[in-house]
Amino acid sequence: RGFVWGKYENPTLDNSSASAYTESSFLGKYDLTIEGLDPATTYFIRAYATNPTGTSYGKSIKIRTKDGGKNEGVEKDDDFEW
């Protein structure tokens, strides 16, 4: 389980242009801080979980990084709750 993100909608672990974070714990909540994103760029992020029968993905969430400097943050999609 973890998160996968990229500059296109519905990123997957199979896509070489996606980045991924894998959580080693199998229970409870998990979160992620992503660094090194390009400014003024739209990204799509979604959670995933893998078991012996395959990988399932959550809803793709759209964010846009702000124009300015380091650690300025993101603008969230209206249907995403932080």
DSSP string, the chain: -EEEEESSSS--TT-TT-EEEE-S--SS--------PPTT-EEEEEEEEEETTEEEE---EEEEE-SSSTT--EEE-TT---
How high is the mean pLDDT of the chain? Answer: 77
- Quick one: pLDDT band at residue 11, thresholds 50, 70, 90? very high
Kindly state the average pLDDT of the residues 21-35: 70
Kindly state the average pLDDT of the residues 47-55: 90
CA-closest candidate to residue 3, choices 55, 39, 41: 55
Kindly state the average pLDDT of the residues 57-68: 86
Kindly state the average pLDDT of the residues 52-59: 93
> What is the share, in percent, of the chain residues with pLDDT greater than 90?
18
